[in-house]
Copies of this chain bind each other. A is one copy, B any other.
Amino acid sequence: MSQQPEFPLLRAATPERWFEAAGERWRELLVDHANCEKKAASTALSMMFAYAEDTALAERLSRLAREELRHFEQVQKYMRELEVPFMRLAPARYAEGLRRAVRTREPRRRLDLLLCGALIEARSCERFVGLVPRLPSPLAQFYAGLARSEARHYALYLRLAAERAGDEDWQRRLAALAEVEAELATAPDPQFRFHSGEPTTRTFRTAAT
Q: A41 touches which one: B35, B45, B76 (CB < 8 A)?
A: B45
In the bound assembly, the distance between CA atoms of A32 and B122 in angstroms comes to: 35
Let me know if A70 and B66 touch, CB within 8 A.
Answer: yes
Identical chains bound together, number: 2
Query: Who on chain B is nearest to A77 by CB?
Result: B59
A residues 19-60 touching B (CB-CB < 8 Å): 35, 38, 41-42, 45, 48-49, 52-53, 55, 58-59
Chain B CB within 8 A of A92 CB: no
Contact of A59 among B41, B59, B73 (CB under 8 A): B73
Known: A59-B76, A66-B70, A73-B63. A86 touches B42 (CB 8 A): no
What is the size category of the interface that chain A forms with chain B? Answer: 20 to 34
Complex contact A79–B55 (CB within 8 A): yes
Q: At the interface, yes or no: A80 with Cβ under 8 Å from chain B?
A: yes
Cβ-closest chain B residue relative to A35: B52
If A62-B72, A66-B66, A69-B62 touch, does A45 touch B38 (CB 8 Å cutoff)? yes
A10 within 8 A of partner (CB): no
By a CB distance below 8 angstroms, the chain B residues around A66 are 66, 69-70
A72 to B52, CA, bound (A): 12
Given A65-B69, A66-B69, A69-B65, CB of A86 within 8 Å of CB of B38: no
Point out the residue from B48, B53, B69, B73 that lies within 8 Å of A38, measured CB to CB.
B48
Residues of B within 8 A of A88 (CB): 52-53
A38 to B72, CA, bound (A): 19
Residues on A lying within 8 angstroms of B by beta carbon are 35, 38, 41-42, 45, 48-49, 52-53, 55, 58-59, 62-63, 65-66, 69-70, 72-73, 76, 79-80, 86, 88
User: 11 interchain pairs (CB within 8 A)?
Assistant: A38-B48, A38-B49, A42-B49, A45-B45, A48-B72, A52-B86, A53-B86, A55-B79, A58-B76, A63-B73, A65-B69
